[in-house]
Amino acid sequence: MYFEIYRQTRGTLVTGKGQWRWRLRAANHETIASGESYVNKADCLHAIGLIKSTDTETLVKEI
C-alpha cells in the first residue's frame, strides 16, 4: 500500500481547486481510502501521519 498526494485541478478556489488531497492505494493501485481537501500541503501530510500512527489498538466502532 502507498499514499499519494496531489493538487486538485477541478472546481473553484472555494470548492477545492488547487487544494491538496490524499488517497491510499492498494498494491494493485486501486484506491481504498481518500481524505478531504487541504489548503496547505503540510496539513495534508499531517493527516497522513495521523493515519499511519494508528495500530492494532485503534478501535473500530459500528454506528
Q: Is the pLDDT of residue 2 over 90?
A: yes
Any idea which residue has 486538485 for its cell?
A: 8
29 φ/ψ sector (left φ>0, alpha ψ -120 to 50, else beta): left
Pick the CATH number of 2-52 from 3.40.50.300, 3.30.160.160, 3.40.50.9100, 3.20.20.140: 3.30.160.160
Neighbours of 44 (CB within 10 A): 22
pTM for the complete prediction? 0.79
Give dist(CA 44, CA 59) in Å, integer.
Answer: 23
At 8-62, the pLDDT tens digits run: 887 666 666 789 999 999 999 999 999 999 999 999 999 999 999 888 888 888 9
Closest C-alpha among 54, 60, 4 to residue 32 = 4
Which pLDDT score, from 0 to 100, does residue 61 have? 87
The SS3 of residue 6 is strand
Which pLDDT score, from 0 to 100, does residue 16 have? 67
Residue spans per domain, the chain = 2-52
